[in-house]
Structure 1
Amino acid sequence: MSASAVRPALVVTALAVTAAALLVGCSSSAPVVVSGPCGAAPTAPPTGWKRDGVRIVAVNDVCAEFEVTNGGSEAADFSVLFGWTGAGQRLDTNPTGTVTAVPPGATVRGRVEVGHPDPARSAASRPPLVPDVKISQVRSVPTAEAPAQDGPCPASGVRLYADQGDAAMGLRVVGLHLVNCGTSPVTVDGYPQVQALDEKHRPVDALQVLKGGAAIAANTGADTPPQQIVLATGEGVRSTVVWRNTNDDVAAAPVNAPYLRVRATPDAAPVMVTPELDLGTTGRIGVGAWAREGGPRS
């Protein structure tokens, strides 16, 4: 099968959470996972408990519960980043809660583990140290366009996802990865097609997309000559996306485009990744051609 045969696939993954430890007890031990509600809902929700269709329902010293309402017109996967309000007990790291395949108009509940109960405090009949959390960021992608790094192979037979990237001195480099997880060969040729989107998934039309990264920075890995590549099962390719977070025009507003809609080939189904393009006033990104990477992968 060629990449031109890739068609939309419904990507539904299990509810996933990223645990974080509080600055109480032994921070090196694993978080305690406890079933049941995460405390009682407050009469007056604190500042920061509601944002972009998401609200925190309850928090205790072990977990946080939250609700996500999909105000869009299609099923979507949501990623909710939690942070610290700056008062009281804080988090070691910022946990992320994820809910998937939320139908349009529906409200679903998620849960994220945030810390450790403190037995010493409980034994003394004192209140637990509850972190003062807030919703820092909400991101969503259509379920039909969700990236697939793990889990069952999508119906398209390929996985397409973005890595965590690298940032130094205002230069940003993020890798797009395409892996053939199906049973037939997949062919890519040249550059992926990309479209930057704002927080509401609207195209950022003023952005200039360059082939290669040389015009932005040297030695980024984005300047491999384009070529046709046939991927056997388990093989993968990478394209490098490069941009600068530079504000060189005091009269222009900085541009932030959280999302990038990617097509492996012009007629392939789109996949939406979230590289958080903080473009400053530069107005351009460089996209490298597909190049082989690594050995066989499942």
Structure 2
Amino acid sequence: MRRPRTPLPLAAAVFAGLLLLTGCGSDTAPIGAAEEETEKCREAGPPLGEAKDGVRITGTKGLGASTPGCSSGVASVAFEVTSPKKEPYAYTVTFSVTDAAGQAYESTPVAVPSVPGGATVRTSFTATPAQGPDSAGTAGVKIFKVRSVPVDELGSPAGPCPRSGVRVTADQGDAAMGLRAVGVRLENCGTRPYALDGYPRVTPLDEQHRPLTGVRVLRGGAEISTGLGTTSPRRLSLAPGEAARSSLMWRNTHEGFGKAANGPYVRLVAKPGASPVMLIPELDLGTTGKLGVAAWEKERR
């Protein structure tokens, strides 16, 4: 799948830290002349009905090539999320947007902050792929990827400090020549010192949030690549406002006929007794079955 020419944030970040395409609600306000003209240039499309991992497209508007006299078509996509879980989950949905030239683009992930267990939440977004010189509007939209995290395990990169007193987030990651590295940051946003000692506990999970089988979680990155994850474990005390960093390291190497170990999630516990946080590093471990975890190290200011 081809990506837009303008760089977009990736899903390895935590949910609320992404640049989002804002959900449009169901209420409508009076429209002016410009909006009326825009409406004339759009044609309502029938519900597509496509479903994937609890997400279903319920309707579209503005699909197809541009109408003569109108600017490039912009599609509005209505969709719903139904959670089969018992507890509330936060969702991000990534769409595949196809322009009139037949080129497909991955949309910025759309966040649905909380879906109660067994409930359905309806929302919409505007599909806006980068418009190339050979494209003319949005011709089609499909569900590309769905990710979900228990609301109680969100990393909370913004907003009020969690009850735990710390925020745990992951960066966008770095990939080169099959080597992967995703940084993990823990910030003490509370009012008391926060102690760390050694390595975070990490459990890789599959798309159904079940532990990945056949994966070894290693302390340090020596078995992944020379020079990675070499920080020696030590006791740390983070004052309010201070932060510590770790990292997840692996190789996307395929050897022989072994089964690839892939899973989007990890459940991370910063120290014994700490509340778990679910991150989305999009693990593609190949057939190596190895995931390296670096020791906590105080962030330099």
Q: Same fold, TM exceeding 0.5?
A: yes
2:139 alignment partner, SS class: coil
TM-aligned CA distance change 1:13 to 1:280, over 3 Å = closer
**What is the CA–CA distance in structure 1 between the aligned matches of 2:43 and 2:108, rounded to whole Å?**
18
Note if contact 1:180-1:231 (Cα within 8 Å) is conserved in structure 2: yes
Note if contact 1:170-1:246 (Cα within 8 Å) is conserved in structure 2: yes
Which amino acid letter does the alignment assign opposite residue 265 of structure 2? Y
**What is the CA–CA distance in structure 1 between the aligned matches of 2:227 and 2:75, rounded to whole Å?**
45
Which amino acid letter does the alignment assign opposite residue 275 of structure 1? P
Aligned to 1:4: none
**What is the CA–CA distance in structure 1 between the aligned matches of 2:240 and 2:126, rounded to whole Å?**
37
Q: CA deviation at 1:259?
A: 0.4
1:86-137 per-residue CA deviation (whole Å, 9 max, x = no partner) reads 8656566522111022101111022223239x9xxxxxxxxx9333111110
TM-aligned CA distance change 1:266 to 1:231, over 3 Å = same
Which amino acid letter does the alignment assign opposite residue 50 of structure 1? A
TM-aligned CA distance change 1:265 to 1:15, over 3 Å = closer
1:140 alignment partner, SS class: strand
1:52-76 per-residue CA deviation (whole Å, 9 max, x = no partner) reads 1101222331432211000112110
Greater relative contact order, per chain length (Cα 8 Å cut-off, separation 6+): 1
Q: Using structure 1 for the length normalisation, give the TM-score.
A: 0.78
Q: Indicate the RMSD between aligned Cα atoms, in angstroms.
A: 2.9
Identity of aligned residues (%): 45
Aligned to 1:17: 20
Aligned partner (choices 152, 160, 169) of residue 152 of structure 1:
160
Q: Using structure 2 for the length normalisation, give the TM-score.
A: 0.77
Aligned to 1:53: 54
Matched, 1:84 2:97: yes
Matched, 1:232 2:239: yes
**What is the CA–CA distance in structure 2 between the aligned matches of 1:205 and 1:257, rounded to whole Å?**
10
Note if contact 1:16-1:99 (Cα within 8 Å) is conserved in structure 2: no
1:170-227 per-residue CA deviation (whole Å, 9 max, x = no partner) reads 000001110001111101110000000000011113210110001110233x110001
Aligned to 1:9: none
Which amino acid letter does the alignment assign opposite residue 281 of structure 1? T
Aligned to 1:259: 265
Note if contact 1:63-1:115 (Cα within 8 Å) is conserved in structure 2: no
Note if contact 1:58-1:64 (Cα within 8 Å) is conserved in structure 2: yes
- Structural mapping, 1:188-227, within 5 Å: 188-220=196-228, 222-227=229-234
Aligned partner (choices 58, 62, 80) of residue 67 of structure 1:
80
Which amino acid letter does the alignment assign opposite residue 63 of structure 1? S
**What is the CA–CA distance in structure 1 between the aligned matches of 2:175 and 2:18, rounded to whole Å?**
29
**What is the CA–CA distance in structure 2 between the aligned matches of 1:14 and 1:284, rounded to whole Å?**
27
1:114-165 per-residue CA deviation (whole Å, 9 max, x = no partner) reads 239x9xxxxxxxxx93331111100001000011111111111100011110
Which amino acid letter does the alignment assign opposite residue 240 of structure 2? T
Note if contact 1:96-1:112 (Cα within 8 Å) is conserved in structure 2: no
Matched, 1:174 2:182: yes
Note if contact 2:17-2:157 (Cα within 8 Å) is conserved in structure 1: no
Aligned to 1:246: 253
**What is the CA–CA distance in structure 2 between the aligned matches of 1:227 and 1:54, rounded to whole Å?**
44
TM-aligned CA distance change 1:276 to 1:171, over 3 Å = same
Is there any run of 5+ residues in structure 1 with no aligned partner, and where? 1-11, 20-31, 119-127
Aligned to 2:275: 269
Matched, 1:111 2:124: yes
Is there any run of 5+ residues in structure 2 with no aligned partner, and where? 1-14, 23-34, 63-73
Q: Give the aligned length.
A: 255
**What is the CA–CA distance in structure 1 between the aligned matches of 2:225 and 2:118, rounded to whole Å?**
44
Note if contact 2:127-2:138 (Cα within 8 Å) is conserved in structure 1: no
Matched, 1:102 2:115: yes
Which amino acid letter does the alignment assign opposite residue 246 of structure 2? S
Q: Which moved more, 1:254-263 or 1:144-153?
A: 144-153
